[in-house]
Amino acid sequence: MSETRDIICVTCPMGCTMHVVVADGQVQEVTGQSCKRGIAFAREEVLSPHRMLTTTVTVRNGTLPLAPVRSRSPLPKALLLPAAAELRKIVLCAPVQQGQLVTANILGSGIDIIASRDIASSDAPQSAA
Indicate whether 107 and 86 sit together in one domain.
Answer: yes
pTM to 2 decimal places: 0.81
Indicate whether 19 and 61 sit together in one domain.
Answer: no
Cα–Cα distance for residue pair 47/50, rounded to 1 Å: 10
- Domain-located, residue 23: yes
* pLDDT value for 57: 98
In sequence order, what are the residues at sequence separation of 6 or more whose Cβ sits closer than 8 angstroms to the Cβ of residue 95? 62, 118, 119, 120, 121, 124
For the chain, which residues score pLDDT lower than 70?
Answer: 124-129
Indicate whether 77 and 25 sit together in one domain.
Answer: no
At 125, the amino acid letter reads: P
* pLDDT value for 127: 59
Q: Report in angstroms the alpha-carbon separations of 98 from 18, 75, 102, 119.
A: 38, 20, 10, 8
Domain of 77 in residue numbering reads as: 54-115
Cα–Cα distance for residue pair 74/68, rounded to 1 Å: 16
Indicate whether 65 and 99 sit together in one domain.
Answer: yes
Tell me which H or E stretch contains 37: helix 36-47
Give the count of domains, the chain: 2
